[in-house]
Structure 1
Amino acid sequence: MNDTLWALSYFAGNFGCSPLDIIKRYIEGQDRDH
């Protein structure tokens, strides 16, 4: 969970997107990596 929270805060700081967009992009990134 800590890694997820860090990633969300990281994306939020760099892109300034809404939480939902951040989560969607994070999930999509994980799916692409795996």
Structure 2
Amino acid sequence: MKPLDHPHVVKLIGIIEEEPAWLIMELYPYGE
């Protein structure tokens, strides 16, 4: 998969696969 870098796309920083699973994403202030 090609890396995607765009100001309107929130970046995925990391994944924790142990229970409970977590997705760590950047903060996007003023977003929906």
Give the TM-score of the pair, scaled to structure 1: 0.19
**Larger of the two Rg values belongs to structure:** 2
Looking at secondary structure, tell me which structure has more strand per residue.
2
TM-score, normalised by the number of residues in structure 2: 0.19
